[in-house]
Amino acid sequence: MTGTEDYTTALNNLQLHDSKPDTLVKNQKFPDPSHPTPCSVSVVDIVNNPTLLSIHLQPIVDLVRGISVGYEALSRFPCKPQITYPQWFKEANRLNLSENLEAIAISNARLKLPELPSTCFMSVNITPSALDSTPVKEALAGSLTQIAIELTGQISSESLEKVSNALGELRSRGAIIALDDTGVDYLGLRTLEVLKPEIVKLDRSLITEVDKDPIKQALIRMVSEVVEGIGGWVLAVGIERQEEIATLIDLKVPLGQGWVLGKPQDQLTEISSDLSQYISNTSHDVVNSATYISLRSITKKVFMAEDLESLIEANVANAYAVVVDYLGQPVHLYRRSGVNSWHEIPITLLIHPDEEPYVVAKRILSREEGNRFEPVLCLGPTNQWNRILEVDDLFENLALKLEEIASKLKHLDH
């Protein structure tokens, strides 16, 4: 993320030895009036020696379970705070090297992938205009499993289709798509409709002191409803206080990021055990209220395969398996019918884990009679269709909840 530093004055006073990239000398400086110490490393130095750019990882936390499910890869440059993050990219853009700098950040981030648990994803920042550039394409070569492509910056309506096509190709290699703070104006809603991102970030301006501001809470509910409508997950960033966490849990925001949850570090870090327990306990109070059942807790893991042949060869123990297309959308669902034998069942319903259980029950009962009690596919924590909800489990939990409510009402009568 770019931060909010005021760097306009410093940029206006940039003095380099030469404006042409091929004639820049090594010890060029980025003077900053507020920090008199000069920087001896240039943009060109970093392009020539990518190890000068380091990557820090900041946890992305599941606000129901209190565990890390992803990490954002954040670039760290030499000479900070003399030279701010935006200044580096502003200067790189002036020298026509911004795509090279983005590519280096992506490549260096991917080097940290082996540190991540297999259940976590890594989010890398890319400007939409750089998606089609040769350096960025090379940095994104190969499998993109566990990678979230986070688009930063405005996307014009004219370029939406082009960006969508580029993202489709990246999705075919396993990437998930995240949008950094999409507005709720026409262009923002159109962007969501066309790109259908798996993750949409809520700007920190909406999150700061959200526990004290009912207007912010209403806006978050509105954005969440739109995002859920396209099958995406909302990610609240800039969380700095436990009170904000509690409010976001109450608003059913599934993912969170911020200094209170974990600061960016050069080594992989986990959320503190005390905070993890706080989140788990707080969300437990919400999901066990008299009117709510957590679908997340009753869904089951589905094995993901490329095709039926590879599924049979894998010899997995799961009861269900799903085959997805190059966009990550489910096309075939199989149920185990014997030892390494599978039977295809129709995909008649897709659900989001944060839907109200009674709404899901009504959708299930509205299906055709022959398929009414078949299981339904559900989005998992890494935004893949790798969870399944069996109808028996849903109605059993609804019955238990009704029994609990009846017991409480009976107690009140006495």
264-280, pLDDT tens digit by residue? 999 888 899 999 999 98
Q: What fold, for 8-287?
A: TIM Barrel (3.20.20)
pLDDT surpasses 60 at 34: no
Residue 73: per-residue pLDDT: 96
pLDDT surpasses 80 at 38: no
Residue 207: per-residue pLDDT: 94
Most confident range (mean pLDDT) of 92-96, 109-113, 300-304 is 109-113
Q: Where in the chain is the domain with CATH 3.20.20.450?
A: 8-287
Residue 353: per-residue pLDDT: 86
Q: Where in the chain is the domain with CATH 3.10.580.10?
A: 297-401
**CATH number belonging to domain 297-401:** 3.10.580.10
Question: What is the chain's mean pLDDT, rounded?
Answer: 83
Q: Which residue has the higher pLDDT, 348 or 83?
A: 348
pLDDT surpasses 80 at 299: yes
Lowest-confidence region among 39-48, 181-190, 213-222, 323-332:
181-190
pTM beyond cutoff 0.85: no
Residue 70: per-residue pLDDT: 95
CA distance 322 to 318: 11
Residue 35: per-residue pLDDT: 42
Lowest-confidence region among 106-110, 180-184, 275-279, 297-301:
180-184
pLDDT tens-digit series, residues 201-224: 988 889 999 999 999 999 999 888
Residue 359: per-residue pLDDT: 87
pLDDT surpasses 80 at 8: no
Q: Which residue has the higher pLDDT, 66 or 309?
A: 66
